[in-house]
Amino acid sequence: MVKEDKNIVIFGLGHMGLPTAALFARNGLKVVGVDINNENVEYVNSGKSPIMEPGLDELVEEAVSHGNLSATLDGEEAAENAEVMIVIVPTPLDNENNADLNAVKSACMTIASAIKKDDLVIIESTVPPGTCDNVVIPLLEESGLRAGEDFNLACTPERALPNNTIYEITHNARVIGGINQKSAEYASSLYKKITTGEIINVKNLITAEMVKLMENTYRDVNIALANEFAKICENLDINAVEAIKAANHHPRVNIHTPGPGVGGHCLSIDPYFIVEMAREKGLDAPLISDSRKINESMPGHVFNIIEESLKEVDKTIKGSSIGILGVAYKGDVADARESPAQPLINFLKDKGASVLVHDPYVSPETIKSFKGMPVTLEDALKCDCVVLITDHSIYKELKPEMINKGVLVCTRPLLDPESFISKGIIFKGVGIS
């Protein structure tokens, strides 16, 4: 159904949009990426990736040099010259924890000004259930064309994992819902060009929207359970991670890992989309809401652990130096969106600590925007209390003799507590008694 000469426009050249654009381009389609950030556009047009992602630099360079990928700020012109428009723009939360759909709306309005008969519009952004029906369709129909009759519409939420994005886009199963069967088949034939993963066609647009939210909510709730277990284990003679690992030997148990909180652009946001939709329908979602509360309480819990650890050396948060290791929301990535490090740094600063931050990947500007002072690893390790927040691989190399003042708070299961405690280090952390 999809010919090699199809022109695709992808709105949003970010962590998910750019790899998707480059993969379609590598598979022979002509792709134009649209972004509102001129720096991203210039990067891509010079054959480079503005996103840190294994394999992406090479992919973008190849696609641009073959003339299959280019980028522009002009979405309307790009859409006029294309038959397929894919929307992969951000969907953050607003101040009331409701979905901020402004970027999706803006992309849809641009598409509406250029859409032609038989075009295909695909929503890949993660959105609250009902967004395609209640927000996207009305905006696209401003064009005067009717969804499902004059143009095709499908929803296939992106489910790839940063740091493994290219592999996952090309191998994960892809869930696709269409406004009708023709739209779903059209979208399926397109994605078969870039993935060997199974294509799962679901009943409609809203089901596809919900599948993605269920996946991330399952993981957020599971992490909340792990964090609750961890807090309880801290008061007993139990290492929570050891206990969870043992429990996971049961063939039907898969408890996730406790930590300093949940960050990133997905798990910490998507459950709220379900809560929002449930509220609109007059329903409660107590388990999902409480899980969010538990995970959001973790930076405060880590603060308390730091306070307790400093007490053991007769120090208080006020006046102490705290060396934070890692502000990325997870290991070996540069992404610090919604990172639990941010509220923790704020709590520490508010109580009068000086907060020195090392992160090998996150920019000094981001660290400063979190109110931390970017420093070398060596300087962070000289602090009164060292706090490991992100499981970057390099931190596995930490040794007791590197913790200058002898106080270490570890929020990830990266280090063996006994090897530090046996050398006289005060070693506390999430899930450690």
| CB of residue 104 to ligand NAD, shortest distance in Å | 8
In this complex, which beta carbon is closest to ligand NAD, that of residue 14 or of residue 130?
14
Residue 90 one-letter amino acid: P
The interface with ligand NAD within residues 162-191 (CB under 6 A) comprises 162
Which is closer to ligand NAD, CB of 35 or CB of 234?
35
Segment interacting with ligand NAD (CB under 6 A) among 102-110, 360-368, 387-395, 403-411: 102-110
Q: Does 89 bind ligand NAD (CB under 6 A)?
A: yes
**Residue of minimal CB distance from ligand NAD?**
14
Of residues 6, 212, 330, 428, which has the active-site annotation?
A: 212
**Residue keyed to tokens 């927040």:** 389
260 binds ligand NAD (CB under 6 A): no
Q: What's the min distance (Å) between Cβ of 145 and ligand NAD?
A: 21
CB nearer to ligand NAD: pick between 61 and 76: 76
Binding to ligand NAD by residue 158, rule CB under 6 A? yes
Query: Whole-angstrom Cα distance, residue 264 to residue 40?
Result: 20
From 27, 49, 125, 201, residue interacting with ligand NAD (rule: CB under 6 A): 125
Select 40 or 49, whichever has its Cβ closest to ligand NAD: 40
Tokens 């139990």: give the residue. 238
- Cα separation, 240 vs 247, in Å, equals 10
Stretch that binds ligand NAD, among 83-91, 169-177, 229-237, 361-369 (CB under 6 A): 83-91
Residues from 263 through 322 that contact ligand NAD (CB under 6 A): 265-266
212 included as an active-site residue: yes
Distance CA 208, CA 203 (A): 8
Closest by Cα among 287, 132, 293, 290 to 210: 132
Nearest to 416 by CA among 242, 190, 165: 242
CB atoms within 10 A of CB 109: 15
Q: How far is the CB of 354 from ligand NAD (least distance, A)?
A: 31
355 CB-near residues (< 8 Å, 6+ apart): 321, 322, 324, 345, 348, 349, 371, 372, 373
Select 213 or 385, whichever has its Cβ closest to ligand NAD: 213
Q: Does 17 bind ligand NAD (CB under 6 A)?
A: yes
Contact 326, 334 (CB under 8 A): no
Closest CA to 120 of 45, 47, 182: 182
Give me the amino acid identity at 52: M
**Residue 88 in the binding site for ligand NAD (CB under 6 A):** yes
**Residue 160 touches ligand NAD, criterion: CB under 6 A:** yes
Is residue 45 within 8 A of residue 37, CB to CB? The reply is no
Residue 24 CB contacts under 8 Å (≥ 6 apart), including other chains? 8, 10, 31, 193, 194
12 is an interface residue for ligand NAD by CB under 6 A: yes
> Where on the chain is the footprint of ligand NAD (CB under 6 A)?
11-17, 34-37, 40, 88-91, 103, 106-107, 125-126, 158-160, 162, 265-266
Active-site amino acid positions: 212, 266
